[in-house]
Amino acid sequence: MKYDVSMKNHIKYRPQYYPVSSEYTDWVKKDHIEKAPSWCSVDLRDGNQALIVPMSLQEKLDFFTYLCRLGFKEIEVGFPAASETEYEFVRTLIEKDMIPEDVKIQVLTQSREHIIRKTLDSLVGAKHAIVHLYNSTSFAQRQQVFRRSKEEITKIATDGAQLIKEIASEEIYKGTDFQFEYSPESFTGTEMDYAAEICNAVIDIWELTPDHPVIINLPATVELSLPHVYANQICYMDRNLHRRDSVILSLHPHNDRGTGVACAELGMLAGADRVEGTLFGNGERTGNVDIITLAMNMFTHGVDPKLDFTNMPQTVEKYEEYTDMKVSPRQPYAGELVFAAFSGSHQDAIAKGMKFREETDPNRWTVPYLPIDPHDVGREYDGDVIRINSQSGKGGVAYLIQRDHGFDIPKAMRSEVGYMMKDISDRNHEELSSDNIFEIFRKSYVNYFAPLDITDAEFTYGSSLKDEGNQQRVKVDMRVVVGGKEDENKEIYNLTGTGNGRMDAVSNALQKTKYNFNYKFITYSEHALSQDSNSKAAAYICIEDTNGRDFWGVGTHDDIILASVNALVSAINRMNDEDRFMN
């Protein structure tokens, strides 16, 4: 049998949403969100709805406490009428006085009398509670599932709203500050005029004032449109709800089209005051809107999100512990790899951006390729930002060696060191850590004392009026060891040499051995390894052999003069690896 892979089945799909006219599009003139919305976590509701193995009572209690620590002031704790675990969870929170004074718990109920009564029964003794009523309103649900008219669907909503109002006024709830919420479930598939009609019918039943508003929540129960269409729908509702000054307009986007965050952001621009969502977007099907991404997006624009994600690694750990789900390594702001730069050009730009920030304004963050400072979410530059593999460049390698170990490799040397690390990573098919990189660098370049070793060197300085240019002359007396590791195989020389400088004097002295040290100096640099007054010095020397090949050596010592000698020795020994001057 042959299968048609042309995807001609697209013809059976048609838009199922209801766009509004262009008069509801002026929100597009806004270019950023100016303040954080009210946040409502629905993690604990979807902790039972959307997990293969629902959370236990203790896990839900622990998760609730953690959500409070993150700064959530409204937390939907589930469907108390759905199961005994759900009901017991709400009662435990209340009876053990686990709800902070400034936090409201939210409970969800269908518009059915016995469910409403049990839901409210679970709230006896609560100080602050949101009762969230919903029923489905979309054309598809009315036509296919309920087979009822608009008037009949509206009556379901208003009957539920009236019953909630009556029960909440009973004496047993005298100490509870109730807030009511209504959701026309499947809002995105509902005709907009009807969505406004049913919401207004509920609003007209509930008593509300600007100081005691109701919540009208508009869920993208299933994402059906481009994000701007959803935002236009929110704008329509913003302008057509009764008593708008006493209504909190709330969003509950899902992520079926992968644009939940965009829908929420545009919805806020269009007039929404509140967002319901979950950590990392957990939820039914493709999930709810990801509150962490939303909050951190605001953070990058200089807006306080009013939630605390300063320890993102812990947030990832807690989420994975409670839900038994994994956070993707590419998850915005939180994934293991989101700050990692393997590309050479990216690494170079980040390194230069970090340096520019230090030199100009450490209080501003404009580093290329990093939308936020990893430190702001509890991540470290070490192992999080510059990462080295076969795709990396010279700049990233040099940056890590300088940042973590203090060696400021000369620019002319960086390509050689970078290609060395790339080749090792490529051959071994693995990433190199900062420690791996430095160990390779150290063994290859730093204080490389075999087969040649200058164990002692003493310099004296003088000048002669007869020398052209009155140039200073340098004399060195030094002890040189050449040979194998065993003492009986070593040759020891006590040499004296003079030259125009230290390295020239040392080179001239080496010529008095029987070995062929043919090279010329290309470049030299030095620096302290730290800012301490007793810091070691590092010196870098490049020499060229008779074939025109360059060899670098690095030397360290408490004395910068001896560090330079060690650098020269290292370069000569690296040349020996190629030329075998001892042969």
Question: Which residues participate in the annotated binding site?
Answer: 46, 252, 254, 288
- What's the CA gap between 77 and 55, in Å, rounded? 12
Tokens representing 88?
């017991």
Phi and psi at residue 63, to the nearest 5°: -65, -40
- What's the CA gap between 436 and 330, in Å, rounded? 24
- What's the CA gap between 518 and 575, in Å, rounded? 10
Contact at 8 Å (CB) between 441 and 406? no
Question: What string of H, E and C letters represents the secondary structure of 88-111?
Answer: HHHHHHHHCCCCCCCCEEEEEEEC
Binding residues for Mg(2+): 46, 252, 254, 288
- For residue 116, the Cα-to-chain-centroid distance in whole angstroms is 41
- What's the CA gap between 506 and 477, in Å, rounded? 9
> C-alpha distances in angstroms, 544 versus 568, 569, 583?
12, 14, 19
* DSSP track, 115-148: HHHHHHHTTTT-SEEEEEEEEE--HHIIIIII--
- What's the CA gap between 501 and 515, in Å, rounded? 22
- What's the CA gap between 168 and 117, in Å, rounded? 10
Contact at 8 Å (CB) between 192 and 230? no
Contact at 8 Å (CB) between 389 and 424? no
Closest to 216 in 3D by CA, of 132, 278, 92, 331: 132
Cis peptide before 227 (omega within 30 of 0): no
Reported in sequence order, the residue ranges of 466-574 that DSSP labels E, i.e. its strands, are 472-483, 490-499, 520-528, 537-544, 550-557
- What's the CA gap between 324 and 530, in Å, rounded? 45
> C-alpha distances in angstroms, 207 versus 203, 217, 318, 422?
8, 17, 39, 69
- What's the CA gap between 378 and 258, in Å, rounded? 27
